[in-house]
Homo-oligomer: A and B are copies of this chain.
Amino acid sequence: MIRGHGGNPGLSRMVRPGLAGVVSFMVMTSETLSTVPPLSLEELHSVDAWWRACNYLVVGQIYLQENPLLKRSLEPEDIKPRLLGHWGTSTGLAFIYAHLNRLIRHTGQDCIYLAGPGHGGPALVAAGYLEGGYTEVYPRVTRDEEGMRRLFRQFSAPGGIPSHASVTTPGSIHEGGELGYVLSHAFGAVFDNPELLAVAVVGDGEAETGPLEGGWKGISFLNPQRDGAVLPILHLNGAKIASPTVQARKDPAELEALYEGHGYEVVWVEGDDLPWMHERFASALAYCYERIRQIQQLARSDEWDGQRPDWPMIILRTPKGWTGPKIVDGNQVEGTWRAHQVPLAQVRDNAGHRAQLEAWMRSYRIDELFNPDGSPTDLVLANNPAGDKRMSATPYANGGKISVDLDLPEYRDYAVDVDPGQRGAEQIESTRKLGEYMRDIYRRNPTNFRLFCPDEANSNRLGAVFEATDRAFAERTDILDVKLSNSGRVMEVLSEHNCHGWLDGYTLTGRHGLFATYEAFAMVSASMTMQQAKWLEEAYHLEWREKVPSTNILLSSTCWRNDHNGFSHQSPELISVVLNLRGTVSRIFLPPDANCLLEVSEHCLRSRSYVNLIIQDKQPQPQWLTIDEAVEHCTKGYGIWDWAGTEDLGREKPDIVLACAGDVVTMEAVAAAEILKARLPELKVRFVNVVDLMCLFRPKDHPHGMSTKAFTETFTDDVDVVFAFHGYPGAIHQLVHGRPNPDRFRARGFREQGTTTTPFDMVVRNNVDRYHLVMDCLNNAWQTPKGSHELYRWCEDQLRRHADYIVENLEDMPEIRDWRLGGDASGALPLPQEPEPRTSEQTQEQGEDIAVPPAD
């Protein structure tokens, strides 16, 4: 039995002191002692020296541009002109790091360190510098006086490094800029990494965010048998930028209940008394480590009953800005929000402040920490782990280094059989095919691939994956549950933040995955998509960062088929978000059918370091392309569909280009082209479908952008283009900017408007339906043949009939509902009789005055 406190007689818990500073204690078993011995005096000195060295380097980074070793008194010109950085959290981060190093040295444990308060970046940079990992990656920043000078000058400075634990920081997979994700990133990192321990420091500021609070439940999806462990350390330093944190001011008993309620065993370490805090924290860390090993050993033995363990966590309460200036200009600084950023300001001009800075830096006893040449002393170096065990050098934090390509099955084996003579005849749910493909990816890659989804894998028709594995669930299961177990590896949690964060942690440590979600609710985690893209973008410029598997996002349950759920479930905004990212990292795919979806998915799963957005509705839909055609079409990214248009009329240019991107609107465009072909065969219509949206950009805006030649070969340079688009029409205007005559693009797409409708009415309300597209083509064509006017009228009639029909019958007209390309119900049959000869009035009307709604 590993649940419950005190269940293991050999281990008594840390006792939480009622007041800060009271010494906590714990009794170690001999078994524990065998792995992590008590802190010896020698080790204490080394750990403490390492910590002081780290703190010294933090202060130096914030303040100094010269004189790094204080070989002379500080002069104004030694001080940086702009003082930037966050002191408050840094010493706490360094304290934890110092002790983790000791743990690693004794145990050989593979650890990664995630600094939730990433603004304490200088501590992480300093740690990597002390370990040597930093210099290995940035050889100019040597471990000597000149290197230290460079270390200081580069911090938060032009051409240097940002102030956070960013992409540039070796050992980091988590920037901690946008707060809330440290736990989800940590859990993502340890899934399927049984030997890894992710230490996640949660700041008490971050602890106030919703996404962070939602992150604790990672343990409800963690299996100690096959996954690694997360050790959360809640760092209560008491204050945010300008006021105290909620958790620091709660009754400690309440706080403990909260985390026990989340499923953790709470170990408290509180105080600022040295060296006792070292003793206390070393014991706490050793206890937690042993507890984790014990949980894992039991879980990996035959004796585990499968119950979710109570995982240990530490609540560490230390003063904000610990070891920094206590009082500045009469104000208490240490222990208050005033220590958050730069505790001493105006240091260049204010000699008193400068003297205080110097005294503060000298208080770390520089001679014990650095040799005269600037290299760390042996006392400091003694606390470094070796080689890849150093957290600044662990390959887990540079996931591309250890990433293994997916063993992908041949995607053509999952293709839909499409008869080019009967395109669109069969309607299938395209995402089912992807589900089958992913099922076999799961089978072939049992520890290297996961699907993340907010409880919708089945709803999104990806349910075939459950033939290969269950949903992961570490809480109690029930006999009535279906495909749910703690050995399952489909990650379903009703939290976009957890899904996205887990995927990010999983891919940044080298594994592969896909996040499938509702299109509208992808916006819940849109900021995470942006932050991940920023990470990948910046990593792209760092040679030492190996490329990692891409962040693949599949949006099903699209805006076009959420008529019944209503307005709140309709938004294609994530397209616009990804459009604004850099071309080095961003890709958007709108496959029109299942075969294209398969090709695109394979491409995305093979790719590295991209954010791939794939949009494909889950409802039954017509299938257009054979697998060979799909491969060709998707490889190019766009193409002319001769079979849909009427290109064979001999004239050089078409009268109109009918373009589309997105599955639902492609169906409407195909239907519109069919109507035109049947009823107005003289109109020369070119039909273009776009899968890879970025192709529309100019090559200088995106690497996938088509050349001007390709663009004009596809869209001509002067014929009007009616563009049926899945997203907001403004995106098309943004994309074709700079192309020949961009104003000829009449984009139709999703527009914000809420009422309840049937599926077809969704597209009618947005004017992207077949009838509006036909009318648009008539209205913008180079020349319109005889019969155009009648056809226009007929479209108007159809729209009126439709509006009446759905209110009466609560569903779409049969000719819409049952429409198949070339089918009897297609509504594309020619007009039953030859139109009457037109009057001149009608002729004029056709050419000029047909009133249509604005094109976008």
Per-residue CB proximity of A680-713 to B under 8 Å, as 1/0?
0000000000000000000011000000000000
A210 touches B205 (CB 8 A): no
For A537, give its contact among B157, B244, B521, B754 (CB under 8 Å). Answer: B754
B495 touches A753 (CB 8 A): no
Per-residue CB proximity of A159-182 to B under 8 Å, as 1/0?
111111011000000010111100
A573 within 8 A of B: yes
For A481, give its contact among B243, B498, B701 (CB under 8 Å). Answer: B243
Q: Distance (Å) between the CB of A262 and the closest chain B CB?
A: 6
Stretch of A222-230, A294-302, A576-584 with 4 or more beta carbons under 8 angstroms from chain B: A576-584
A208 within 8 A of B: yes
Query: Given the interface contacts A242-B455, A734-B731, does A158 sit within 8 Å of B757 by beta carbon?
Result: yes
Complex CA gap A806/B159 in Å reads 9
For A211, give its contact among B167, B211, B250, B573 (CB under 8 Å). Answer: B211
Per-residue CB proximity of A203-221 to B under 8 Å, as 1/0?
0011011111111110010
A471 within 8 A of B: yes
Stretch of A251-259, A350-358, A424-432, A442-450 with 4 or more beta carbons under 8 angstroms from chain B: A251-259
A810 touches B65 (CB 8 A): yes
Query: Given the interface contacts A520-B178, A734-B731, A737-B743, does A752 sit within 8 Å of B213 by beta carbon?
Result: no
Find chain B residues with CB under 8 A from A807 CB.
Answer: 158-159
Q: Which of A158, A258, A497, A571 has the most CB of B within 10 A?
A: A158
Complex CA gap A363/B240 in Å reads 57
Find chain B residues with CB under 8 A from A209 CB.
Answer: 210, 214, 494-497
A75 within 8 A of B: no
Find chain B residues with CB under 8 A from A743 CB.
Answer: 737-738, 742
A494 touches B810 (CB 8 A): no
B211 touches A569 (CB 8 A): no
The residue of chain B having its C-beta at the shortest distance from the C-beta of A700 within the complex is B854
Residues of A in contact (CB 8 Å), total 136
CB-contacts of A102-149 with B (<8 A) = 119
Per-residue CB proximity of A716-755 to B under 8 Å, as 1/0?
0000000000001011011001100011000000011111
The residue of chain B having its C-beta at the shortest distance from the C-beta of A3 within the complex is B251
Find chain B residues with CB under 8 A from A208 CB.
Answer: 214, 217, 493-495, 498
Q: Which of A476, A524, A758 has the most CB of B within 10 A?
A: A524
A636 within 8 A of B: no
The residue of chain B having its C-beta at the shortest distance from the C-beta of A494 within the complex is B208
A670 within 8 A of B: no
- Chain A contact surface mostly: loop
B211 touches A459 (CB 8 A): no
Per-residue CB proximity of A462-484 to B under 8 Å, as 1/0?
00000000010101111011101
Find chain B residues with CB under 8 A from A530 CB.
Answer: 523, 571, 573
For A213, give its contact among B214, B492, B742 (CB under 8 Å). Answer: B214
B497 touches A210 (CB 8 A): yes
Q: Which of A332, A480, A754 has the most CB of B within 10 A?
A: A754
Find chain B residues with CB under 8 A from A758 CB.
Answer: 82, 157-158
Find chain B residues with CB under 8 A from A573 CB.
Answer: 526, 530, 577, 580
Complex CA gap A255/B856 in Å reads 51
A524 touches B754 (CB 8 A): no
Per-residue CB proximity of A507-520 to B under 8 Å, as 1/0?
00000000000001
B524 touches A178 (CB 8 A): yes
For A164, give its contact among B214, B263, B527, B568 (CB under 8 Å). Answer: B568
Q: Distance (Å) between the CB of A813 and the closest chain B CB?
A: 11
Query: Given the interface contacts A80-B810, A160-B756, does A178 sit within 8 Å of B537 by beta carbon?
Result: no
Find chain B residues with CB under 8 A from A459 CB.
Answer: 241-242
B494 touches A240 (CB 8 A): yes
Find chain B residues with CB under 8 A from A809 CB.
Answer: 81
A241 touches B811 (CB 8 A): no
The residue of chain B having its C-beta at the shortest distance from the C-beta of A806 within the complex is B158
Stretch of A38-46, A270-278, A385-393, A559-567 with 4 or more beta carbons under 8 angstroms from chain B: A559-567
Find chain B residues with CB under 8 A from A548 CB.
Answer: none
Complex CA gap A566/B175 in Å reads 10
The residue of chain B having its C-beta at the shortest distance from the C-beta of A746 within the complex is B738
Complex CA gap A24/B84 in Å reads 58
B581 touches A752 (CB 8 A): yes
Find chain B residues with CB under 8 A from A262 CB.
Answer: 258
Find chain B residues with CB under 8 A from A498 CB.
Answer: 208, 210
Q: Which of A162, A206, A477, A854 has the most CB of B within 10 A?
A: A162
Find chain B residues with CB under 8 A from A157 CB.
Answer: 756, 758, 810
> With contacts A212-B214, A538-B567, A576-B580 known, what are 18 further pairs, Cβ within 8 A?
A82-B810, A82-B811, A158-B758, A159-B756, A162-B754, A175-B566, A180-B524, A208-B494, A210-B211, A213-B216, A242-B457, A243-B455, A256-B261, A537-B567, A537-B752, A537-B754, A737-B743, A738-B743
Please, could you name 15 A-B residue pairs with CB atoms under 8 Å apart, sorted by A?
A80-B810, A82-B564, A156-B756, A158-B757, A158-B806, A208-B493, A210-B497, A211-B214, A249-B476, A524-B527, A526-B573, A537-B753, A580-B728, A700-B854, A733-B733
User: A-B pairs with the 4 shortest C-beta distances?
Assistant: A162-B566, A258-B261, A210-B214, A177-B568
